[in-house]
């Protein structure tokens, strides 16, 4: 299995999903070799990848960390900035002296990762290859070429989700399309994403399996008491990357309407991203700076703490292939509002649903939840009961079904070459 990241060093939903699937596979008795980039950023933060000694569930998992500069959601500009930072760091003098260690640009870095993946595939024993998102699709293809084993690519987001359909990076699009075409099966995290893959990449729908994400439960988070930020004000939370895809601007525009009608409320934005400066300026421009708090990027227990402070969690995503955060909020007994343009809206019934662009409806529903305690409690209680049905063990089981389908097709194919 090839991934971008694995907790505790994770910056988004893909790392959470990889951890959930890997743990689910391990709990089912499957043996997993998980391959990911070991970046200077992870070393700088003294992050140690979870090992079997730390978590007995992972006793069947081997981790292979490859040197490189690949980090999740990275742009070309961010790649060059990180590369310069690494080369100027006195602790990395030996690495900097080896120009072959890092690529000239982000896309060469992807290529180098795939070549290192080929070497791992040459040495390890395995039955199937599972690659997550575009940064690892080339690695999956190289592993398939050298091992002749079947490949499934797992689509958590497409270039159309990340850019909103504007300014598509052709190189990324081509890598995504090549990965889906050369894979034996394609997994998408929702029917919403499946339809996007069919319409924008021309992939045969019969080749695609939909496997929804889940959420991990911990006793401390689910049963925890509420932690209030303010005794007077209600709290509305946005938690996610502050990027076009996640709709933070629509969240702010709706917040302005709410504040004009219901002043006893504060809006908390937890996360980081390229739109953060714009959102900060827009908050000031709208005159609501005293009502909007920026918490920065959160991880670990702080994420659950942020949920527990909230009276309502809002995910206003413009294009969300799935969306694990609403499940995390419900796990913490927090009612949720989600955009209809999300995969999780297919499977989550006890949530308020709005079109991301309809800020009037978003604001009205926010006010109703904040104003009427009975509505808030009903959404919270029914949602918290519903979220218990989401299990990474079940998600992993559906992945195994895809693996078996590929293996059976391989055996039936006779002369077919993988």
* CATH code assigned at 325: 3.40.50.2000
Question: What mean pLDDT, rounded, does the chain reach?
Answer: 85
Residue 414 falls in which region: left (phi positive, over 0), alpha (psi -120 to 50) or beta? left
Could you tell me if 102 and 149 lie in one domain? yes
Helices (H), 246-293: 248-261, 276-285
On whether residue 8 sits in a domain, the answer given is no
Could you tell me if 208 and 231 lie in one domain? no
Query: Both tokens of residue 10?
Result: 């994770």
Chain segment 246-304, per-residue pLDDT in tens: 999 999 999 999 999 999 999 999 999 999 999 999 999 999 999 999 999 998 889 99
Helices (H), 293-338: 301-309, 325-331
CA–CA distance, 162 with 165 (Å, rounded to integer): 8
Task: Say what the pLDDT of residue 39 is.
Answer: 53
Could you tell me if 274 and 353 lie in one domain? yes
Query: Both tokens of residue 393?
Result: 């063990």
On whether residue 4 sits in a domain, the answer given is no
Burial 335-344 (b: 16+ CB within 10 A, else e): bbbbbebbbb
Task: Say what the pLDDT of residue 65 is.
Answer: 74
Helices (H), 97-240: 106-123, 134-147, 159-163, 170-182, 191-201, 219-222
pTM, full prediction:
0.84
Residue 102 falls in which region: left (phi positive, over 0), alpha (psi -120 to 50) or beta? beta
Task: Say what the pLDDT of residue 84 is.
Answer: 52
**Domain count of the fold of the chain:** 2
Bridge partners of 153, per DSSP, are 131, 186
Cα-based distances in Å from 117 to 2, 37, 142, 252: 8, 10, 7, 43
Q: Above 70 in pLDDT, residue 55?
A: no
Bridge partners of 265, per DSSP, are 234
Could you tell me if 314 and 402 lie in one domain? no
Tell me which residue range forms the domain holding 113: 13-214+392-412
Range with top average pLDDT, 62-66, 156-160, 296-300: 156-160
On whether residue 396 sits in a domain, the answer given is yes
Q: Above 50 in pLDDT, residue 379?
A: yes
Calculate the CA 284 to chain-centre distance: 30
Q: Residue 46 carries which DSSP code?
A: T
Chain segment 101-140, per-residue pLDDT in tens: 334 566 777 888 888 888 899 999 999 999 999 989 999 9
Q: Which of 49-63, 125-139, 266-280, 382-396 has the lowest mean pLDDT?
A: 49-63
Could you tell me if 344 and 399 lie in one domain? no
Answer whether the bond into residue 8 is a cis peptide, omega within 30°. Answer: yes
Q: Above 50 in pLDDT, residue 86?
A: no
């Amino acid at each position: 299995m090839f991934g971008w990241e694995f907790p505790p060093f994770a910056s988004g939903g893909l790392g959470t999903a990889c951890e959930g699937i890997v743990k689910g596979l391990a709990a089912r008795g499957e043996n997993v070799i998980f391959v990911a980039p070991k970046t200077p950023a992870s070393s700088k933060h003294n992050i140690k990848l979870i090992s079997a000694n730390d978590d007995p569930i992972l006793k069947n998992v081997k981790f292979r960390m490859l040197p490189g500069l690949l980090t999740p959601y990275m742009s070309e500009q961010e790649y060059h900035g990180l590369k310069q930072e690494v080369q100027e760091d006195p602790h990395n003098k030996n690495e900097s002296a080896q120009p072959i260690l890092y690529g000239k640009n982000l896309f060469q870095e992807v290529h180098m990762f795939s070549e290192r993946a080929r070497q791992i595939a040459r040495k390890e024993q395995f039955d199937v290859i599972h690659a997550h998102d575009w940064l690892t699709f080339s690695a999956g293809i190289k592993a398939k070429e050298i091992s002749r084993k079947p490949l499934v690519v797992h689509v958590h987001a497409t270039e159309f989700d990340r850019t909103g359909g504007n300014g598509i990076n052709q190189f990324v699009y081509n890598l995504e399309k090549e990965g889906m075409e050369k894979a034996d099966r394609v997994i998408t995290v929702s029917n919403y994403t499946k339809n996007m893959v069919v319409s924008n990449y021309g992939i045969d729908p019969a080749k695609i399996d939909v496997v929804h994400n889940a959420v991990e439960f911990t006793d401390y988070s689910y049963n925890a008491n509420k932690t209030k930020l303010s005794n007077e004000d209600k709290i509305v939370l946005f938690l996610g990357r502050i990027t076009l895809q996640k709709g933070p601007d629509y969240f702010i525009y709706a917040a302005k309407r709410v504040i004009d009608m219901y002043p006893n409320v504060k809006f908390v934005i937890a996360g980081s991203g390229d739109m953060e400066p714009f959102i900060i300026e827009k908050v000031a421009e709208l005159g609501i700076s005293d009502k909007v708090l920026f918490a920065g990027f959160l991880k670990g227990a702080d994420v659950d703490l942020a949920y527990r402070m909230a009276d309502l969690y809002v995910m206003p995503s413009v294009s969300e292939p799935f969306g694990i955060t609403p499940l995390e909020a419900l796990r913490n007994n927090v009612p949720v509002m989600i955009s209809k343009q999300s995969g999780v809206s297919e499977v989550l019934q006890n949530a308020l649903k709005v079109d991301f662009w309809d800020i009037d409806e978003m604001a009205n529903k926010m006010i109703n939840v904040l104003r009427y305690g009975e509505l808030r409690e009903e959404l919270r209680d029914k949602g918290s009961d519903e979220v218990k049905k989401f299990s990474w063990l079940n998600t992993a089981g559906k992945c195994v079904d895809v693996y078996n389908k590929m293996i059976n097709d391989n055996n039936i194919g006779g002369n077919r070459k993988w």
